[in-house]
Structure 1
Amino acid sequence: MRKSKLVRLCTVVCAVSAPCCVHAQQTESPPASAEANAQGIGDIVVTAQRRTEDAQRTALSIEVLGGEQLRNVGVSNPDDITKVVPGVQVSGGATTQIYVRGVGDFGVTAVANPAVVTSLDGVAISRPQAISGNLFDLERVEVLRGPQGTLYGRNASGGALNLLTAQPRLGELSGYAEGTVGNYDLLGIEGAVNAPLGGRGALRLSYQLTSRDGYLSDGSDDDKHQSVRLQTRFELGDRLTVRALASYTHLGGRGPGLTIIPAPPALSPWTGNTSDVAGDLFIKAAADAFAASGGQSPPPFLLANPKDYELFQDVDSYAGQAQLDYDLGGVTLTAIPGYRRTETRITVPTNFLYSLGGRYGPAGERADGETSDQYSLEIRLSGDTERLDWVVGAYGFKEDQSTDFVLRGGPILSTRNSLDLSTEALAAFGQATWGVLDGVRLTGGVRYTRDKRGASNFQVQAISPSITVPAAVTGLPPAPCLPETGAAPGSLCPLVNQAPGFYDSAVTFERVTWKAGFEADLAERSLLFGDVSTGFKAGGFNQAVSLTTPTELNPFRPETVTAYTLGIKNRFLDNRLQVNAEAFYLDYNNLQLSGNAFDGAGLVSIATQNAGKARVLGGNLNVIAKPWRGGTLRGSVEYLDAEYREYLVQQPAAFVSPQRTTCAISAPNAGGIVTVDCSGKTLIRSPRWSGAVGFGQEVDLAGGTLAFDADAAFATSRYLTTDFLPSQRADGYVNVSLSLSYRPAGDRWLIGAFVRNLTNEVIYTGGGGTQSPFVDGWTTSAIAPPRTYGARFRVSF
């Protein structure tokens, strides 16, 4: 059955593209006139395969967004990419979570390593908290779908998001300043200055400052960030080019928020779950559940009211990197060293409070939050001849992390948790494309990765008053943390053995990943390609005690994937019509998923677990047309058939009721552990259909250009969490955006207006949301912005 579906999808791709290919072969187009070129579809240069090439000549599943397009459609943070790239679901604000074709990572805790790797000018951003605040003064964004296991740094088992900055231009004094105002008290300023440094150098200073109130009623989902980036570029002689980049970003305000799903009657969907009304509804739901269960569920007096949670965000990210390119004579040597430090203090208001750097004591004592220091170095050699393009290289990565956070859910859950983590990764890689015949090329690539993960200094302490004090699992006596035992409010009591080094753990993962593919020129503007590739994402340790071996940390296994892709890229009608189509099949093993779990010490944790097997089958169609002067029609659609073929999770029987999940639950074993079987369920955040349609028109007016754009992004229903309750299945949506702008001849200035989510569509994104561990069915989710509108002003020089 699965093979027949793949065959049908491949047939659809060929059927869509075949008439176009025949037409291209039968008709030899004359050279395009200047008028045709002016009205044709522009080429976009990409470097996704570590070489410069036209996106339409790149044998990859890639979507490219240019800098001007990003500004026009309002992509100012990663969440906005969902509006323009089918098959991609992004949410989470500062805790950015990127899912491509149903594969991603929860991205909240320090142990998270996103399956979709985000990089800035070729240097991976390891912490999801450091991604926001980088989408300004960009040349383009490249979205690569599927595993990138050959050329990319590490863990790119689901895809890659490449942010490419606007580079310094030699011999040029130029720049721009742009202001944006809008509802929710939006005030944004962005700009850049490019200046020469002698005849061989240049610098570029870019900045973005944004202040916007929150979309949710509790003030969350605001945007208060400041970013600055300084770049230099020098051409030293005829062979050596050196680029350097330094950047700083601060994310402030109340931070990302969550709302209740489904929205309670008479409440706006944008009601924050820490608002007074939502908090009181949670306590009432807990009381109703306690009564209905005959006292088996937690009584409400043991739970904290979410309205008492402290919401805040304080993230600092510092980065420095460089790129050296040296022409050895037909071969280029490239070296890219990079460093980034990320300091995170933030609240994620799940159905309990997860707070990096949150307050726990009456005198304002706080946990330390999360700190990450990452170092990387990539060195590669590349070259090209008439028949052969090749690249070989080595990659090293090191990250040291410390995380210290509090979980606050009332006396039943009130802990301070800390852990140190380390990662050391080394890789060697190579890839080559060989022209075996005129118009036919074969590609082969291989990468060896060695990834060592370590965890040390694990501690969990109860915060008084607390009753969540299980008997110690390693010999320590129980440690009551109640005032009557002498524990002052806000004081800390040990929950697990905290003897130095007791839980220290380390493990090394090794993997060889590879790629084999072909590409064929069916005509001057038609490229057929296909490949088989593999990907790998290292395993590691959770910040929790193992459920089955309570003297160890809870581990998770590496994630692997094999992907099959067949696609075609076409340009027709004097470069006025572009038709790209693709079919794909992804086979995952040990897919890593994160969510609430109870560990071997009887405590709630946000843990990464493995779904044994998953498969994703689908197809993609993308069309751009310029049928008349100044007019552009665009449309894209992606189909996904994604399911967990084997998904078994173990949990204590006391915490898993039939009301918590629609998955099958086994009888408890002798240790009181049940197996939850979600095999056959649909992958979360993977709508069956998603896509976008758009229309743009430019008109000459008063010596300038008036431009109008209308776009609609859509997706069908999808599950948001792995409990698979009906209430956790978000409805489909259509998100409509409009913009109007005017610029005079010479493009010296621009003025425009926009409205986004015109119909005030309710779009749940799932980021950060979970089901309450104490109140069955009570679920929260991130939500996309409501209707927003505003104006843009831009001056260039």
Structure 2
Amino acid sequence: MRVGLAIGASVFAMMANPVLAQEVSAAQESLAAEDAPIVVTAQRREQNVQDVPIAISVVSGDALQEQRVRTIDQIGQQVSNTQIYQDKGGSQPNWTIRGVSLFDFNVNNSPSTSIFIDEVYQPSSVMGSGGIFDLERVEVLRGPQSGLYGRNSVGGAVQIISREARPGDNDGYVNLDYGSWHRYRLEAAQSVSLGDNTAVRLAVLNDGSFGGGWQDSVTGGRDWGEPDRLAVRGILRSEVGALTARLKLYYARDKSDTVLATASGAYSPTFDFCDAVLAGNLDQANCLTLAQLIDPTLDGAGAQSDDGTRVLSQPINQLDNEELSATLNLSVDLGAVTITSITGYTDFDFGFDFDYDASQLNLGGWTEQAGLRNFNQELRIASPSSGDFRWQAGILYTNYRFNEFKEFNWTDNPLLFDTFNPIFGLDYQDLFLDVTYRQKTRYWGVYGQFDYDITPDLTFSASLRYSDEKTTYREGRIGFQSITSFPAPGGIDLIPVGAMDRDYSLGDHWTGSATLSYRPTDDSMLYATISRGYKSGGVPGGFPQTTEDTIPYDEEFVLNFEGGFRTEWLDRALQVNGSIFYYDHDDIQAFTTLPSTLTPGQFAFRLTNIGSGYNFGGELEVVARPVWGLRLGASIGYLETKITDSDKVFFSFDNQAIPWKGQRLDYAPTWSGNLFVSYTADVSETSNLTVAGDYNFRSRLRYAQTAVDEALRGVAGYGVANGRITLEDDAGWSVSLWTKNLFDKAYVSDASNDGVGSYYRTFGEPRSVGVAMGFRW
């Protein structure tokens, strides 16, 4: 490490010798602010991040803007042992921290990592795909956090904290970004003081395109991949005596295109898997898609590019989201205690279309519309942050209501027509499989945490939470319907209304943690933690084929044994943090594939508890500032997962029963991490230049059990590099040149099938470049 730092410092010093000879400048002043201690609220009170005995990574709002991080799900690329699984083109991102996740494509299920936006819990993964702008910071906490954060924090917790104004603030900025495929991004904010004790901050975001996209749909004859995102946020803050009040109003809509899938050639002319797939490979030039078997005149998989830029998929993959939310935070400092009330309400309408078969025909088109209504109320009381004994306690209530309509379009599939017509007498136009249901979840919990300084250098901390949760699934309906609305006269119910009514109640109510932390020096801390967290059970929300497909699944638990250290060296010029963990993982929730009763020869996906296992690994993060203006960083994560006890099996795509026992979890790569470098130097008395780059990598994300699954389901690892050059002036102006996926790496983010015979892959974006101009005041 020392040799590497010395070499890097020497190289940059020689390159920048003329400018380093100058006096203290604007660049140095801005870097001094960047190097200040990072304050976080990971434990619901303000602390230096180096004093928090948690494996935590923090990314500032400014850093996210500089790195062109556009949406919440992209934050995971900055953190080791953290992946974002992008199901169906990115409409429902699932956070996977230390291998803990649920790869559920149904909106009614909760993620395994809890996402909090300005202290309000987001109950569905679809709420985690929105645009981010004008943030103070993002805190990613790894490991179970169910003591303070509650349900569904079994993988960890993510806090997204908006920037707000304080009385006296009148700052603001505007930033305009333009890049590849004619994309643009406008972001602006302004703080306004309203007297001596009140201020408001208004912020706006508009992501759009002047036309074009990085993908070309052969079928639709058009480019695809345009963002269409608008968001407005206002935060009013008022300080009157001991009372501090914050009111946030937020509106957003998102009609962005999502990734078009690439069809995978899988078949021989006799409807068997082709020789290449049987050998574990894809041969797009010679193997056939299901669409080709139905209509031999159609172009095959070979007409597509091998990087996802040219596809057969119909250009329909698109979001249709709209959100309106309000949060009221009231805090009273009474000296002996501080009482805080957090009230939040979110009205979120979710919609999207996805060409699941990735072909020219309607073999598996998916349409979904859902309404999510979430009310959250928390009341918290806390002691002062000083003293040998510090504590806090709270009570929380949430009411989450959900209704959904889903439709599968099979109208071009004669194979299914031949199956259903003799039974139901269906016409082709009736091959729409529709699902509707409504769901309600009520949760309440009480929690407490304390920190006791046994000695000035030794602290014992503990948290405990009692949770109660109930979910009802009602009016579930599945059946075939023609183009008219569902349900309607003439529709055919496969399962009678009411036959799938279900109730789920949390069966294990206690979670918490115990931590011992020790400070051998002022610049170092060691900690050891035992924590227990859970992921809620619930009712599967997919396309049920039998009443058994809606049987509730139980909650999933993780018992975490963790040790770590946080250290600073050389007057904070070098920071080294690390952790090691072992999870005892019980009642793991996962999809298991079973032979389909509705579509013979294909598979159904059923969400269930598959058994128990372990997750073992660790993280190491290093940040160094060897010379003024130079910042180097690296993080690496190691992870090993295994199912050790299970009586369940799943079926591979070639119909082989595979025991879950002995398998590793998907999207839990053995190695992951990132590297970054940033160098800032003066180019004049009033301006400075910053050159920066980063590289994010993951090893293999999904392992296959058969050769066929390797060809059609395996997901290899990849690494992506990004870079930027920024010129800033003391007057507030800045100009940046940036590139993402610098080396134009073609990588697969997901590979799967639609359950009725078609196979697909989705790719990440190719290289993009752009320019940004900004002004701050």
Give the TM-score band, short-chain normalised.
0.7 to 0.9
Query: 64-73 vs 127-136, which deviates more?
Result: 127-136
Aligned to 2:516: 518
Matches of 2:111 and 2:286, distance apart in 1: 31
Secondary structure in structure 2 of the residue aligned to 1:543:
coil
Partner of 2:749: 765
In structure 1, the partner of 2:724 is: 739
Q: Does 1:112 align with 2:92?
A: no
Alignment partners' CA distance in 2, 1:459 and 1:726: 36
One-letter amino acid of the counterpart of residue 620, structure 1: E
Is the 1:57–1:527 Cα contact (8 Å) retained in structure 2? yes
Aligned match for 1:151, one of 148, 151, 158: 148
Q: For the Cα contact (< 8 Å) 2:266–2:289, is it kept in 1? A: no
Q: 5 Å matches for 1:369-768?
A: 369-384=369-384, 385-410=386-411, 411=413, 412=416, 414-464=432-482, 493-499=491-497, 501-510=498-507, 511-543=509-541, 550=547, 553-594=550-591, 607-649=606-648, 656=651, 659-660=654-655, 665=657, 676-703=658-685, 704-719=687-702, 725-727=709-711, 728-746=713-731, 748-766=732-750
User: Residue deviations 1:343-398, cap 9 Å, x none?
Assistant: 11101333389xxxx999xxxxxx88100100011111111342112110011111
Alignment counterpart, residue 130 of structure 1, candidates 127, 131, 150: 127
CA distance in 1, matches of 2:266, 2:740: 22
Match of 1:12 in 2: none
**Matched residue, 1:326:** 332
C-alpha offsets along residues 192-218 of structure 1, whole Å, 9 cap, x if unaligned?
011011211111111110014543333
User: Where does residue 25 of structure 1 map in the other structure?
Assistant: none
Q: Counterparts of 1:577 and 1:551 in 2: how far apart (Å)?
A: 56
CA contact (8 A) 2:365 2:408 kept: no
Whichever residue aligns with residue 689 of structure 2, its letter is L
- Report Cα offsets for 1:58-108 as digits up to 9, x if no partner: 000110001111112221113322331111111433312211122223353
In structure 2, what is the Cα distance between the partners aligned to 1:555 and 1:169?
47
Q: How does 1:98-497 map to 2 (within 5 A)?
A: 98-212=95-209, 213-218=212-217, 219-237=223-241, 239-260=242-263, 281-284=289-292, 307=313, 310-351=316-357, 369-384=369-384, 385-410=386-411, 411=413, 412=416, 414-464=432-482, 493-497=491-495
Deviation at 1:551, TM superposition (A): 6.9
1:154 aligned partner, one-letter code:
R
Q: Work out the CA distance in 2 between the residues paired with 1:278 and 1:317.
A: 46
CA distance in 2, matches of 1:697, 1:609: 50
Give a deviation string over 1:5-37, Cα, whole Å, max 9, x none: xxxxxxxxxxxxxxxxxxxxxxxxxxxx99999
Task: Name the CA distance, whole Å, in 2 between partners of 1:502 and 1:128.
Answer: 28
CA deviations 1:571-598 (Å, max 9, x no partner) are 0011100011110111211222247656
Q: Is the 8 A contact 1:446 1:515 kept in 2?
A: yes
In the TM superposition, residue 730 of structure 1 has moved relative to its aligned partner by 2.4
* Alignment coverage as a number of residue pairs: 683
> Residue 659 and residue 523 in structure 1: after superposition, are their counterparts in 2 closer, same or farther (change >3 A)?
same
* Cα distance, 1:103–1:780 mapped onto 2, change above 3 Å: farther
Give CA deviations for 1:547-581 in whole Å, capped at 9, x if unaligned.
Answer: 8x847833211111111110000000111000111
State the distance in 2 between where 1:552 and 1:40 align: 53
- How far apart are the structure 1 equivalents of 2:548 and 2:145? 36
Distance (Å, rounded) in 2 between the aligned partners of 1:720 and 1:794 = 44
1:142: Cα distance to partner? 0.5
Whole-angstrom distance in 2 between the partners of 1:180 and 1:715: 29
Distance, in Å, in 2 between the alignment partners of 1:281 and 1:599 is 20
Q: 1:720 to 1:198 in 2, by over 3 A?
A: farther
Report Cα offsets for 1:629-668 as digits up to 9, x if no partner: 11111111111111222455467xxxx567256xxx2xxx
8 Å CA contact retained: 1:234, 1:242: yes
Q: Could you tell me which amino acid in structure 1 is paired with residue 693 of structure 2?
A: A
Q: Following TM superposition, by how much is the alpha carbon of 1:711 offset from its aligned partner in structure 2, in angstroms? A: 1.0
Q: Which amino acid aligns with 2:407?
A: V
Give the Cα separation in 2 of the matches to 1:642 and 1:348: 32
- Cα separation, 2, equivalents of 1:544 and 1:791: 43
The TM-score normalised by the length of structure 2 is 0.82
Please state how far the C-alpha of 1:153 moved relative to its aligned partner.
Answer: 3.7
Identity of aligned residues (%): 23
Rounded to whole Å, the distance in 2 between the matches of 1:139 and 1:379 is 24
Q: Deviations over 1:738-757 (max 9, x none)?
A: 100011125x1111110111
State whether residues 495 and 547 of structure 2, in contact with CA within 8 Å, keep that contact through their aligned partners in structure 1.
no
Instruction: Name the Cα RMSD after superposition.
Output: 3.3
1:134 Cα deviation after fit? 4.1
Deviates more, 1:379-388 or 1:569-578: 379-388
Cα distance, 1:100–1:491 mapped onto 2, change above 3 Å: farther
Q: 1:435 to 1:492 in 2, by over 3 A?
A: farther
8 A Cα contact 1:189 1:210, kept in partner: yes
1:707 CA drift (Å): 0.4
**Conserved 8 A contact 2:525-2:565:** yes
- Alignment-mate amino acid for residue 610 of structure 2: A
Q: Distance in 2 between matches of 1:326 and 1:514?
A: 27
- Aligned in 2, Cα 1:141/1:230: closer, same or farther, shift over 3 Å? same
2:652–2:705 Cα contact (<8 Å) kept: no
Partner of 1:84: 78
Counterparts of 1:39 and 1:71, CA distance in 2: 17
Residue of structure 2 equivalent to 1:792: 772
- Kept in 1: contact 2:264–2:289 (CA 8 A): no
Residues 106-153 of structure 1 deviation map (CA, whole Å, 9 limit, x = unaligned)? 353133210011111100112222223341100000111111110114
Q: Which runs of 5+ in 2 are unaligned?
A: 1-23, 218-222, 268-283, 297-310, 417-430
Partner of 1:29: none
Give 1:545 deviation, angstroms.
8.4
1:783 equivalent in alignment to 2:777: no
Q: Which amino acid aligns with 1:328?
A: L
Q: Which amino acid aligns with 1:610?
A: N
Counterpart CA distance in 2 for 1:262 and 1:145 is 39
- Tell whether the 8 Å contact from 1:240 to 1:326 is kept in structure 2 after alignment: yes
Identify the residue that residue 269 of structure 1 maps to in structure 2. Answer: none
Match in the other structure for 1:64: 58
In structure 2, C-alpha distance between the alignment counterparts of 1:717 and 1:175, rounded to whole Å:
43
2:540 touches 2:549 (CA, 8 Å); kept in 1?
A: no
- Residue type at the aligned position of 1:330: A
Q: Tell me how far 1:174 sits from its aligned partner.
A: 1.8
Q: Please give the secondary structure, in 1, of the residue aligned with 2:552.
A: strand
The 1:607/1:684 distance shift into structure 2, 3 A limit, reads same
TM-score where L is the length of structure 1: 0.80
Question: What secondary structure sits across from 2:228 in the alignment?
Answer: strand
